[in-house]
Amino acid sequence: MSDFPRPRILVSRCLEFDNVRYNGQVIHSQIVRDLEPIVDFIKVCPEVEIGLGVPREPIRIVKEKGNYRLVQPKTGRDVTREMDDFTDNFLSRLEDVDGFIFKSGSPTIGIRNIKVYSGETMAPVVERGSGFFTKKILDKYAGYPMEEDDRLRNYRIRHHFLTQLYTFADFRQVKDSALSDEMLKFNKKNAFLFSFYNDNTYRKMCDLLENKPNGAAYGIIPAYEEMLKELMQKPGDPESKAAVAQKIVSSFDSSMSSSEKEFFKNHLQNYLEMRIDEDALTEVLRLYVHRYDAENLDNYTILYPYPDVLRMPGDSKRDKDYWSENK
């Protein structure tokens, strides 16, 4: 297989890196630890960047008369303009990135479910939304891989995020080349993956490439990128995965023995009935591909969407050895 790209990720500075939380703490994050050796992190803490210091009194978002402000209730300080100016300046200088990992619950850098109050003190929550800094990130980078640390502890969310991240990182390199051949290669090698995510959108992407002018790809990159963002918003369902799995096997089933075909048929049915998980299906498909189509491994990004070192570790507490005399 070809080497994986090295993604660029904008990350909350308080996740694993520095003690910049309002209370002077650092937050531990498994996925940030796992990614750190093989990605390029761009770290940011908006609150520290505007001079609030560490430790600091908490800040909150306040909505009054339809206007949103960022305030520090204990001191009465309003930092709305400082945060807006910093965010605009930061985004104007931010290099190309492939994804984002932010601290959940933060009034500046949280993505979702952030409390918005009706006043600075003794006031109820009137709505929930995005952090002050993140709101502009969401506007500028709509459709990009973007998650919060706590949600990335969930297996399915983590798997989707990493799949999306490495696909976007690969596409960034394709965009930089601006060559039609590279666009075609990218589209072909991701055929199974894209078909699983959204087959209708993938067909539109194929049509766009078929009608492209020869040579440079400048003219179609923006349209293709928008389709890619749409396609990768959420993964397909188990039925879609089973359909793609069947399509993979059908490409070389003439070389398979009757017992292998029967095994795969039963295995696929077990997957659809939720008797085995997606990883179990993937491992069997990997085995067959290595046996019957190893020369085309690059075309199976659905089976190798990101480096195996990033596969979610087992849960030592859940998988504890209860039969050991010492446990």
The Cα 138–Cα 110 span in angstroms is: 11
Host H or E run for residue 8: strand 8-12
pLDDT category at 260 given cuts 50, 70, 90 is: very high
Q: Is the pLDDT of residue 77 over 90?
A: yes
> What are the tens digits of pLDDT across the range 189-247?
999 999 999 999 999 999 999 887 666 677 889 999 999 999 999 999 999 999 999 99
The DSSP code sequence of 13-72 is TTBTT---STTS--B--HHHHHHTTTSEEEEE-HHHHTT--SS----EEEEETTEEEEEE
Considering all CA atoms of the chain, what is the largest pairwise distance in Å, rounded to the nearest integer?
Answer: 75
Q: Is the pLDDT of residue 176 over 80?
A: yes
Q: What is the pLDDT of residue 325?
A: 62
> What are the tens digits of pLDDT across the range 114-134?
999 999 999 999 999 999 999
Gyration radius of the chain's alpha carbons: 23
> What are the tens digits of pLDDT across the range 279-307?
999 999 999 999 999 999 999 999 999 99
Residues 243 and 147 in one domain: no
In a domain, 205, yes or no: no
Q: Is the pLDDT of residue 16 over 90?
A: yes
The Cα 210–Cα 248 span in angstroms is: 23
In a domain, 321, yes or no: no
pLDDT category at 314 given cuts 50, 70, 90 is: confident
Q: What are the structure tokens assigned to 89, written together?
A: 């300046």
In a domain, 63, yes or no: yes
Last residue of a domain, one of 153, 173, 193: 153
CB atoms within 10 A of CB 323: 6
Phi/psi of residue 56, nearest 5 degrees: -150, 160
Please name which of 119, 116, 162, 154 lies closest in space to residue 7, comparing C-alpha atoms: 162
In a domain, 273, yes or no: yes
In a domain, 12, yes or no: yes
Computed over every residue of the chain, the mean pLDDT equals 94
Residues 149 and 242 in one domain: no
Q: What is the pLDDT of residue 319?
A: 65
Q: What is the pLDDT of residue 318?
A: 61
Domain hosting 284: range is 238-310
Q: Is the pLDDT of residue 327 over 60?
A: no
Q: What is the pLDDT of residue 85?
A: 98
Residues 139 and 244 in one domain: no
Residues 137 and 254 in one domain: no
Please name which of 110, 108, 118 lies closest in space to residue 66, comparing C-alpha atoms: 118
CB atoms within 10 A of CB 300: 21
Residues 30 and 126 in one domain: yes
Last residue of a domain, one of 121, 153, 185: 153
Quick check: 134 and 109 in contact, CB under 8 A? yes
The Cα 296–Cα 282 span in angstroms is: 16
Number of domains in the chain: 2
In a domain, 28, yes or no: yes
If one compares 176 and 93, the residue with the highest pLDDT of the two is 93
In a domain, 251, yes or no: yes
Phi/psi of residue 187, nearest 5 degrees: -65, -40
The DSSP code sequence of 126-192 is EEEE--HHHHHHHHHTTTS-EEETTGGGSHHHHHHHHHHHHHHHHHHHHHHHTBHHHHHHHHHHTHH
Host H or E run for residue 77: strand 77-78
Q: How far is CA 67 from CA 33, 70, 79, 196, 286, in A?
A: 38, 10, 14, 43, 54
In a domain, 194, yes or no: no
Q: What is the pLDDT of residue 320?
A: 72
